[in-house]
Amino acid sequence: MNYTERNTLATSLAIGSSQGSGHVDSIFSPVILFFGLGVAAVIARSNLAVPEVVGKALALYLMAAIGLKGGVQVSESGFTAELGIAALAGLGLSLLLPLPVFWVVRKLGKLDSLNAGAVAAHYGSVSVVTFVTGVEILTASGMPPAGYMVAVLALMEAPAIIVGLWLARRATAGSSVGVGHHISESLRDGTVMLLMGSFAIGLVIGRDGFAPVQPVFEGAFRGMLCLFLLDMGLVAARQLFKTRSLTPTLALLAIGFAVVNGALGVVLGSLLGLDAGTAAALGVLSGSASYIAAPAAIRLALPEADIGLPLAMSLAITFPYNVLIGIPLLGWLAQLLA
C-alpha cells in the first residue's frame, strides 16, 4: 500500500465515510460543523473569538501541510502528462474567468469599472482554505485529488489578480504601476511562497523524509482545520452583518459565480481526462474566490476601490456556500461525468 492509499484509508476510517454515504458524511463532518458553530456564535451574539495571531498561525500551518503532502505525493508519482494538463487548464481558467465576472457585475450588479475589476480579481483567483476543505471532503468521500493540484492552486492565484487590476485600470489610464510590478508582487506574496516552498520541500524529501514530521503535518491536520474553520465561521458571519454595499443581486451573483465557475472547472477537467477527484478539485478551485491574496493586492493597488464589497461577497457568501453545498455538488458532478 503506497502513501496515497494509506492517507486515503486513514481519512476514510477517521471520518467513517464510504462511497455511498460521502455526501452525508461531508455535511456532518467535524470540519463543516465547526464552521457552523462559528456562524451560530455570531448569530447568538456570543463573545466567542479566536485571537488573530492564532488564526494566522493556523493558516500558516494549513498551507505548509497541504504543500508538503502534495510535494510528497508528486515525488512518488513523478511529473506526469496529467500534471501538465491540469496546470495549463488551471492557468487558462485563472486568466479567463475574471472577464465574464467583470461584465456580469457591471451589467447586472451595476458596479463601476473600478469595483467591477476588484470583484473580478477575487472571483478569478482562488481560495486556499476552500481548496484545503475541498480536498478533505473529497478524500473523505473516496475521491482523493492528485497531490499535484497544490501546484495548480499556486499557479491560479496570481494571474486573475493581474487581469482584474488591468480591467479596473482601463478606466484610470495613466497609472505609473505596470503589469510587471503586479506580477512581481504576486510572486513574492507570502501565500504563494509558502505553498510553493513547502511543495518543493515535500518533493525533495519524499516519503521517507516526511515520515518524522508526519504526526504533525498529517496527524494533527484535521483538528487544526476544524479550529481554523471555526474562526472562518466567525469572520464570515461578522463580515456579512457589517457590510452595507452588498445588494441582494450581488449576493445572488456571489453564489452564481461559484456554481457556474465550479461546474466549468469540473467539466473541463473531465474532458481533459483527469480522474474524478482531481476534476472535482479543479472545479473547487474555479468556483472559489480569494479573500486573502486578492484583498491585499486590491487594497495596495486600488486604494479607492470599496474593498469591503468583494470581501463580503467572497468570504461571507461564496465561501460558506462552497463549504456547505458547493463542494459536495462538484464531487457528485465529477463522479457523474466520470
57-89: b (≥16 Cβ within 10 Å) or e: ebbebbbbbbbbbbbbbbbeeeeeebbeebbeb
Q: What is the pLDDT of residue 337?
A: 93
Q: Is the pTM of this model over 0.75?
A: no
Q: What is the DSSP letter of 146?
A: P
CB neighbour list of residue 210: distance below 8 Å, 6 or more residues apart = 68, 69, 72, 202, 217
Domains of the chain: 3-11+51-337 (1.20.1530.20)
Rounded distance, CA 168 to CA 102, Å? 9
Tell me if 251 sits within 8 A of 86, measured CB to CB.
no
Query: How many C-beta neighbours within 10 Å does residue 338 have?
Result: 15
Cell of 159: 494571474
Rounded distance, CA 158 to CA 168, Å? 16
Query: Which backbone phi and psi does 160 adopt, to 5 degrees?
Result: -65, -35
Q: Letter for the amino acid at 132?
A: V
Rounded distance, CA 297 to CA 284, Å? 22
Alpha helices in the chain (DSSP H): 3-15, 22-27, 30-43, 52-77, 81-96, 98-107, 113-124, 128-140, 149-169, 179-187, 190-210, 214, 221-242, 248-271, 276-287, 293-301, 308-311, 319-321, 327-337
Give the chain's residues under pLDDT 50. Answer: 1-25, 174
Q: What is the pLDDT of residue 306?
A: 79
Q: What is the pLDDT of residue 161?
A: 80
Q: What is the pLDDT of residue 73?
A: 73
Alpha carbon of residue 52 to chain centroid: 20
Helix or strand or coil: residue 91?
helix
Q: What is the pLDDT of residue 324?
A: 86
How far CA 104 is from CA of 117, 169, 180, 198, 323, in Å, comes to: 11, 18, 27, 37, 24
Q: What is the pLDDT of residue 124?
A: 92
Tell me if 125 sits within 8 A of 261, measured CB to CB.
no
Q: Any idea which residue has 479596473 for its cell?
A: 168
Rounded distance, CA 119 to CA 153, Å? 19
Q: What is the pLDDT of residue 99?
A: 95
Spell out where 49-177 has E strands. Answer: none
Task: Look at the chain and count its residues.
Answer: 338
Q: Letter for the amino acid at 124?
A: G
